[in-house]
Amino acid sequence: MIAHPWGWLFAIGVHPYPAGTPWSYQLLSGFLTDMSLVTLIAGLVTWYRSANCRWESCPRIGHYKDSRGVRWCWKHHPDHKGQKPTGAVLHRLHHEHVARLAGQ
């Protein structure tokens, strides 16, 4: 079996290994699988940190944005005052926001 020239870098061809196992199988079943898992976990953590509420240590996803575009959950949003927003409240807040933008 011919060893890959960069085998030492990815721990490919480290003895003992089965003589019939090619270096590409060892790379796909070992190093690349681990890197894919690390990338997936890092992507999920990044998404969660960008989508969660900006209140310190609040684990909720921020569904509502304030006038600056900062995400807040319904409990910590400055305009909702700790109550779940109804359609009427969201409609009122939207018109207040549009009026503020028109006045600028």
pLDDT in tens, 63-86: 888 777 888 888 887 777 777 878
Domain range holding 97? 53-103
Asked if the structure places residue 62 within a domain, the reply is yes
Does 64 share its domain with 79?
Answer: yes
Does 60 share its domain with 46?
Answer: no
Does 82 share its domain with 95?
Answer: yes
- Residues 23-76: pLDDT tens digits? 677 777 777 888 888 999 999 999 998 888 888 888 888 888 877 788 888 888
- C-alpha 55/C-alpha 18 separation (Å) is 54
Does 34 share its domain with 63?
Answer: no
pTM for this predicted structure: 0.53
Name the band, by pLDDT with cuts 50, 70 and 90, for residue 11.
low
Structure tokens at 6: 């960069």
Does 45 share its domain with 60?
Answer: no
Q: Is residue 89 a contact partner of residue 96, using CB atoms and an 8 Å limit?
A: no
Structure tokens at 76: 């910590």
Structure tokens at 26: 């060892």
